């Protein structure tokens, strides 16, 4: 085969172009510091790069965004719970002081103010938020735990209780003592005697709220009663029955206001069932008490036969009242076009806790929230109300006693005025004896009750701390994985600058040498040999 000069020129030009392409590739790698500029440069590197970049992006999302957000949420929650723990500890301290039988009026006044201040702070703490999201309200992060202002909004609420919610309450009947002053103490209706002062104990269910007046709707107390066969024997099945339900569908429950002395009425009637709307109490006689206390859960069935349901309505809300949708199955604006149902699954026994979870790793989540029913319970405020009312009653009676003693010292010896004042003082002494005894027992009970709330709070703090510790471990692992994936990504995509620089310099020298050699070769033609 004859090799012409043209063939030599074309081959030289092709080889020079190939060298120039290689030089361009190295120059591009030098400037971009990447091995490839397009997938076609190296499909294997491109595919591996896509996978590694996806992994790096995902790990970065976990490490740089999700985990810090979860940490912040847990920190806000833990701070609020620690504050609640301090409040509960202070309440226990106040209950310990209040349980003393040697309290002076000044001591009671201080304890009273402390309890009121602490009670106000409890639910304010529950309104803690993170980035505008309330941390104790489950999925309803846009809704505060408590009402921030007075509001008229009707709710139909169903509380799901058990027999432990039934307690005994002492009521001291002071007759007209608290209405006696220096101007009317001689009036006929104010001449109270020692025998007019009484104390009664009755059973009650204390609802989560007081002032439960809503269009005169009476609460409905339901319990699970056994279904009997024709012979009167249990069938092993249960149905919801209404407490106090009589033949014909009438209900024995009646409404009595606190000023009508419902406690004495119930104490004297074993079949009494009374609703006191101002205090949110359902008072019951012995027979109804025994009916509810007999409710027990049957292990052979799936439902909880020990449950006691109380359905009632409340329409007036004060600032600081807890929103019922965070605790109970309830309906707002019931029976209207604007009705909204909350937590209806609670009534079926299939309720799931509203856990807020963050994705913090590959197929790994962590719960960051604590719900209000775990720590900010209604019982805290209701227990405090009982303590405050009992202590205020003692303070009021002590005020009446001081006033009567002053009047007695000024009355003429042996006069009718002095006789009346003496009877009134005897009545006050008896009332004070009852009231102080009630106060002391309530404060002793309060120590146990608030210790229970403190235990619940400490459990929440422990759970929150456990989640924080777990999150720290996940964070460390994500940091290591982030470093590993970024290293693998760099090894796959990035070039060795030193190697590329040497290869580029070599390519430049080769290119220049090729140009010089080709220039000399192309100068020779066939004419040079003729």
Q: Which residue has the higher pLDDT, 524 or 241?
A: 241
Question: What tens digit of pLDDT does each residue of 301-322 get?
Answer: 778 888 999 999 999 999 989 9
Q: What is the pLDDT of residue 39?
A: 79
Q: Do 252 and 266 meet the contact criterion of CB atoms below 8 Å apart?
A: no
Q: What is the pLDDT of residue 317?
A: 93
Question: What tens digit of pLDDT does each residue of 461-483 get?
Answer: 999 999 999 999 999 999 999 89
- Spatial distance between the Cα atoms of 315 and 303, rounded to a whole number of angstroms: 31
Distant-in-sequence, close-in-space partners of 474: CB < 8 Å, separation ≥ 6: 67, 360, 361, 364, 366
Average pLDDT over residues 506-527: 75
Q: What is the pLDDT of residue 1?
A: 61
H or E, element range at 366: strand 364-367
C-alpha triplet 106, 111, 116: angle, nearest 5°: 130
H or E, element range at 166: strand 166-173
Q: Do 219 and 253 meet the contact criterion of CB atoms below 8 Å apart?
A: yes
Which of these, 148, 146, 127, lies nearest to 136 by C-alpha position?
127
Q: Do 219 and 207 meet the contact criterion of CB atoms below 8 Å apart?
A: yes
- Torsion angles phi and psi, residue 211, rounded to 5: 50, 50
Q: What is the pLDDT of residue 147?
A: 92
- Torsion angles phi and psi, residue 2, rounded to 5: -85, 125
pLDDT category at 516 given cuts 50, 70, 90 is confident
Average pLDDT over residues 484-513: 81
**Is the pLDDT assigned to residue 211 strictly greater than 70?**
yes
- Spatial distance between the Cα atoms of 487 and 418, rounded to a whole number of angstroms: 98
Mean pLDDT of the chain: 88
Q: How many CB atoms lie within 10 A of CB 407?
A: 20
Question: What tens digit of pLDDT does each residue of 81-122 get?
Answer: 999 999 999 999 999 999 988 888 899 999 999 999 998 899
Q: Do 422 and 408 meet the contact criterion of CB atoms below 8 Å apart?
A: yes
Q: Do 398 and 177 meet the contact criterion of CB atoms below 8 Å apart?
A: no
Average pLDDT over residues 43-47: 82
Q: What is the pLDDT of residue 13?
A: 81
Q: Which residue has the higher pLDDT, 329 or 190?
A: 329
**Is the pLDDT assigned to residue 529 strictly greater than 80?**
no
Q: Do 300 and 272 meet the contact criterion of CB atoms below 8 Å apart?
A: no
pLDDT category at 528 given cuts 50, 70, 90 is low
**Is the pLDDT assigned to residue 331 strictly greater than 70?**
yes
Distant-in-sequence, close-in-space partners of 390: CB < 8 Å, separation ≥ 6: 435, 438, 439, 442, 443
DSSP-derived secondary structure letter, 294: T
Q: Which residue has the higher pLDDT, 99 or 351?
A: 99
- Torsion angles phi and psi, residue 433, rounded to 5: -60, -50
Six token digits for residue 101:
């039988």
Question: What tens digit of pLDDT does each residue of 386-434 get?
Answer: 999 999 999 999 999 999 999 988 888 888 888 989 999 999 999 999 9
pLDDT category at 146 given cuts 50, 70, 90 is very high
Q: What is the pLDDT of residue 214?
A: 60
Query: pLDDT exceeding 90 applies to what percent of the chain?
Result: 52
Instruction: Report the predicted TM-score, pTM, of the whole model to 2 decimal places.
Output: 0.84
């Amino acid at each position: 085969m004859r090799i012409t000069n043209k063939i030599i020129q074309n081959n030289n030009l092709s080889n020079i172009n190939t060298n120039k392409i290689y030089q361009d590739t190295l120059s591009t790698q030098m400037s971009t510091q990447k091995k490839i500029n397009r997938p076609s440069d190296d499909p294997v590197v491109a595919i591996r790069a896509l996978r590694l970049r996806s992994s790096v992006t995902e790990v970065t999302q976990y490490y740089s965004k999700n985990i810090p957000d979860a940490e912040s949420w847990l920190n806000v929650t833990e701070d609020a719970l620690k504050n609640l723990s301090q409040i509960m500890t202070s309440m226990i301290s106040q209950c310990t002081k209040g349980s003393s039988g040697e309290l002076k009026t000044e001591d009671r006044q201080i304890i009273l103010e402390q309890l009121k201040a602490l009670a106000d702070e409890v639910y304010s703490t529950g309104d803690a938020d993170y980035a505008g999201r309330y941390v104790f309200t489950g999925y309803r992060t846009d809704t505060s735990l408590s009402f921030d202002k007075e509001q008229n909004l009707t709710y139909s609420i169903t509380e799901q209780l058990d027999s432990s919610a039934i307690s005994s309450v002492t009521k001291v009947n002071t007759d007209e003592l608290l209405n006696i002053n220096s101007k009317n103490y001689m009036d006929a209706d104010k001449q109270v005697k020692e025998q007019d002062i009484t104390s009664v104990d009755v059973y009650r269910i204390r609802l989560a709220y007081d002032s439960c007046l809503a269009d005169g709707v009476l609460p409905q107390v339901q319990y699970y009663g056994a279904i009997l066969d024709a012979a009167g024997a249990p069938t092993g099945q249960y149905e919801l029955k209404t407490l106090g339900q009589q033949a014909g569908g009438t209900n024995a429950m009646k409404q009595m206001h606190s000023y009508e002395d419902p406690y004495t009425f119930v104490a004297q009637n074993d079949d009494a069932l009374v609703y006191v709307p101002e205090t949110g109490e359902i008072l019951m006689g012995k027979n109804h008490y025994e009916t509810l206390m007999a409710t027990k859960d049957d292990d052979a069935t799936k439902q909880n036969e020990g449950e006691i349901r109380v359905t009632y309505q409340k329409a007036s809300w004060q600032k600081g009242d807890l929103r019922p949708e965070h605790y109970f199955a309830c309906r707002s604006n019931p029976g209207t076009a604007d009705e909204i149902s909350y937590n209806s699954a609670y009534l079926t026994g299939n309720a799931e806790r509203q856990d807020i979870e963050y994705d913090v790793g590959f197929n790994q989540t962590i719960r960051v929230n604590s719900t209000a029913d775990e720590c900010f319970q209604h019982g805290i405020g209701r227990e405090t109300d009982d303590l405050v009312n009992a202590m205020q009653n003692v303070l009021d009676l002590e005020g009446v006693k001081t006033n009567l003693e002053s009047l007695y010292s000024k009355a003429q010896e042996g006069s009718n005025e002095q006789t009346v004042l003496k009877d009134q003082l005897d009545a006050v002494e008896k009332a004070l004896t009852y009231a102080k005894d009630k106060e002391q027992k309530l404060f002793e009970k309060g120590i146990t009750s608030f210790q229970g709330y403190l235990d619940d709070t400490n459990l929440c703090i422990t759970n929150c701390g456990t989640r924080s510790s777990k999150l720290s471990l996940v964070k460390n692992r994500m940091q290591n994985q982030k470093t590993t994936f970024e290293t693998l990504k760099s090894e796959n995509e990035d070039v060795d600058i030193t190697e590329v620089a040497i290869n580029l310099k070599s390519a430049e020298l080769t290119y220049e040498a090729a140009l010089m050699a080709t220039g000399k070769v192309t100068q020779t033609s066939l004419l040079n040999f003729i």
